[in-house]
A and B are shown apart, each in its own frame.
Chain A
Amino acid sequence: DVKVTQSSRYLVKRTGEKVFLECVQDMDHENMFWYRQDPGLGLRLIYFSYDVKMKEKGDIPEGYSVSREKKERFSLILESASTNQTSMYLCASTSGVQPQHFGDGTRLSIL
């Protein structure tokens, strides 16, 4: 069974801080994704990666960056956190034409 693990379930940070959200998958998947989920808006794609050191912007990349130094790990970075980045963040992975599998999510609050 695919395992996508996000390092924190809940996280509280202050505005202006640099925030790192970590995601690890154990299925040797090439493709990894970061989404944010807000009530009434569904899930929106922030960034994705199809290989180590490769990244592509999704629909809402502003204010975020990513890092993929190893195949199994994909990090989302908030360079200078703002209150409008308070949200649920979901990581997902897939390989080829397989469906995406999601992690449990990180609920991030920016105060």
Chain B
Amino acid sequence: GENVEQHPSTLSVQEGDSAVIKCTYSDSASNYFPWYKQELGKRPQLIIDIRSNVGEKKDQRIAVTLNKTAKHFSLHITETQPEDSAVYFCAASIGGGGADGLTFGKGTHLIIQP
């Protein structure tokens, strides 16, 4: 089955700096890659997703890049703010929107230092 590796497990950055979280996947048939943000005690919430027919997607301060050849994708957050502090999960799926279930990475705890 699919295996998703996520790095780093903890990332501490100064407020205003950029943060990058990287994931690799094993199944070349995977075609959908969402990113979820989970604040303490709350549900995971989708922040951005990308499909395999696109190499990059951006939404304000957040961007995701996908390299299908290398089977890796990354989350980029620019101009980080205190409210960006959370655990971020990458995931991969064969089923387009995740209809067959998502395989998650183990998460990155992002800490924004004031």
Residues on A lying within 8 angstroms of B by beta carbon are 30-31, 33, 35, 40-45, 48, 50, 56, 58-59, 90, 94, 96-105
For the complex with contacts A94-B99, A100-B34, 16 further pairs of A-B residues with Cβ separation under 8 Å are: A33-B101, A33-B102, A40-B106, A40-B107, A42-B89, A43-B89, A45-B102, A48-B101, A58-B101, A59-B103, A97-B97, A99-B49, A100-B98, A101-B46, A102-B43, A102-B45
Task: Return chain A residues, CB-CB under 8 Å to B106.
Answer: 40-42
Contacts A43-B44, A90-B43 given; does A97 touch B104 at CB 8 Å: no
24 intermolecular pairs with C-beta atoms under 8 Å apart? A30-B99, A33-B101, A40-B9, A41-B106, A42-B6, A42-B104, A43-B91, A45-B101, A45-B102, A48-B100, A50-B99, A56-B100, A56-B101, A59-B103, A94-B99, A96-B96, A96-B97, A97-B99, A99-B98, A100-B97, A102-B44, A102-B45, A104-B42, A105-B43
Residue B114 interfacial (CB < 8 Å): no
| Cα of A59 to Cα of B46 in the assembled complex, Å | 22
A100 touches B102 (CB 8 A): yes
Task: Return chain A residues, CB-CB under 8 Å to B49.
Answer: 99
A43 touches B97 (CB 8 A): no
Main secondary structure of the interface of B (DSSP, over half): loop
| Cα of A66 to Cα of B32 in the assembled complex, Å | 26
Contacts A90-B44, A99-B34, A99-B46 given; does A43 touch B104 at CB 8 Å: yes
Name B57-114 residues within 8 Å CB distance of A.
89, 91, 96-107
Residues on B lying within 8 angstroms of A by beta carbon are 1, 6, 9, 32, 34, 36, 42-46, 49, 89, 91, 96-107
**CB-nearest residue of chain A to B98:** A100
Contacts A45-B103, A96-B96, A97-B99 given; does A59 touch B1 at CB 8 Å: yes
* Shortest distance from the beta carbon of A2 to any chain B beta carbon, whole Å: 10
A104 touches B43 (CB 8 A): yes
